[in-house]
């Protein structure tokens, strides 16, 4: 492994561990409002200062990292599984199936994501806990984010459709379902693996975008998305550089994810 990748893996492990140990590392509760210390600069008591409601920024960053880093892979897994199912089936069966499958994915990609998410959120029951809401948000992201990956998987499956080992398996009486699961998808693993890793930062950024619109993770739970909302105030970002911590962490993690991927797997 190249030193650059080793370094990226090290950073990712460090960030993951810090977020998993948020209970131990966070100085105070992420939701407690120290109203007398709202918008406080970094101090011994609040190492990254406090937000506009007086909540400790470091605690919120640690817990927010946990939510974004644990749930984004879940969303990526859902999206990759759907991409494998739709793209793999369409590419392997070809013909009418491929036209329908890819037409469906084209349709999905052309749909306005944001409005879809707004609509889904509006249809959800209101009395869900913040934790349930965050799980729903990421599940929705996963359910909506498979289309681009499906096209890549479809292209890979199409290439395998008439390969010799598939023809040989077919002549031995192997059914389509068994062929797809046992002979077509396994060689596509590197593609699926790459799609999975690429999707993680995409979903982290998607949640961040939703958070900026106030539609991400429900309060008082923190996430990178709602932490980034503090940067809406252009002057505060210049005069209070500690506000850039979540942005810095987001860029670092996304960059590390890109570095971790082997170059041959990158699309």
247 binds another protein (CB under 8 A): no
Answer for which of 40, 218, 252, 260 binds another protein (CB under 8 A) is 218
Query: For every residue of 48-114, which 3-state class applies, written as one string?
Result: CCECCCCCEHHHHHHHHHHHHHHHHHHHHHHHHHHHHHHHHHHHHHCHHHHHHHHHHHHHHHHCCHH
Quote the least distance from Cβ 30 to another protein, whole Å: 12
Closest Cα to residue 252, out of 244, 243, 240? Answer: 244
Q: Which of 100, 215, 247, 254 binds another protein (CB under 8 A)?
A: 215
Q: Is 113 in the site for another protein (CB under 8 A)?
A: no
Residues 130-189 that bind another protein (CB under 8 A): 130, 133
Q: How far is CA 155 from CA 46, 87, 106, 116, 185, in A?
A: 52, 8, 14, 27, 12
Cα-based angle 13, 16, 17 (whole degrees, multiple of 5): 85
Binding of another protein at residue 31 (CB under 8 A)?
yes
Decide if residue 214 touches another protein (CB under 8 A): yes
> DSSP state, 229?
G
Using CB under 8 A, pick the residue from 177, 235, 263, 264 that binds another protein: 235
Q: Is there a contact between 209 and 137 (Cβ–Cβ < 8 Å)?
A: no
| 220 belongs to the binding site for another protein (CB under 8 A) | yes
Site residues for another protein, 78-107, by CB under 8 A, read none
**Least distance in Å: CB of 54 to another protein?**
7
Between residues 20 and 231, which has the closer beta carbon with respect to another protein?
231
Query: Which residues, numbered 38-57, are part of the site for another protein (CB under 8 A)?
Result: 38, 52-54
Residue 56 or 98 with smaller CB distance to another protein:
56
Q: Which of 20, 85, 118, 174 binds another protein (CB under 8 A)?
A: 118
Least distance in angstroms from the C-beta of 53 to another protein: 6
What count of other Cβ atoms lies within 10 Å of the Cβ of residue 165?
A: 11
- Alpha carbon 260 to chain centroid distance? 16
Q: Which of 9, 11, 33, 179 binds another protein (CB under 8 A)?
A: 33
∠219-225-231 over CA atoms, to 5°?
105
In the complex, the residues that contact another protein under the rule CB under 8 A are 31-33, 35, 38, 52-54, 118, 121-122, 126-130, 133, 213-215, 218-220, 229, 232-236, 239
């Amino acid at each position: 492994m190249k030193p650059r990748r080793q370094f990226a893996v090290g950073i990712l492990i460090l960030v993951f561990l810090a977020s998993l140990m948020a209970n131990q590392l966070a100085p105070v509760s992420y939701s407690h409002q120290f109203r007398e210390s709202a918008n406080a600069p970094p101090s011994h008591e609040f190492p990254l200062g406090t937000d506009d409601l007086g909540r400790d920024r470091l605690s919120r960053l640690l817990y927010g990292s946990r939510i974004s880093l644990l749930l984004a892979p879940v969303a990526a897994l859902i999206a990759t599984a759907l991409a494998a199912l739709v793209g793999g089936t369409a590419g392997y069966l070809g013909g009418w199936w491929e036209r329908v499958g890819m037409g469906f994915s084209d349709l999905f990609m052309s749909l306005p994501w944001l409005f879809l998410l707004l609509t889904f959120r509006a249809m959800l029951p209101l009395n869900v806990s913040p934790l349930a809401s965050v799980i729903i948000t990421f599940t929705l992201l996963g359910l909506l984010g498979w289309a681009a990956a499906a096209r890549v998987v479809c292209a890979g499956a199409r290439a395998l459709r008439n390969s010799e080992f598939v023809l040989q398996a077919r002549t031995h009486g192997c059914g389509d379902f068994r062929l797809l699961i046992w002979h077509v998808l396994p060689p596509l693993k590197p593609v699926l693996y790459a799609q999975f890793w690429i999707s993680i930062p995409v979903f982290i950024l998607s949640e961040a975008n939703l958070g900026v619109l106030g539609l991400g993770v429900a309060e008082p739970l923190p996430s990178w998305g709602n932490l980034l909302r503090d940067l809406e105030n252009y002057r505060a970002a210049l005069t209070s550089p500690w506000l850039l911590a979540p942005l810095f962490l987001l860029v670092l993690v996304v960059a590390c994810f890109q570095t971790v991927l082997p170059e041959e797997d990158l699309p």
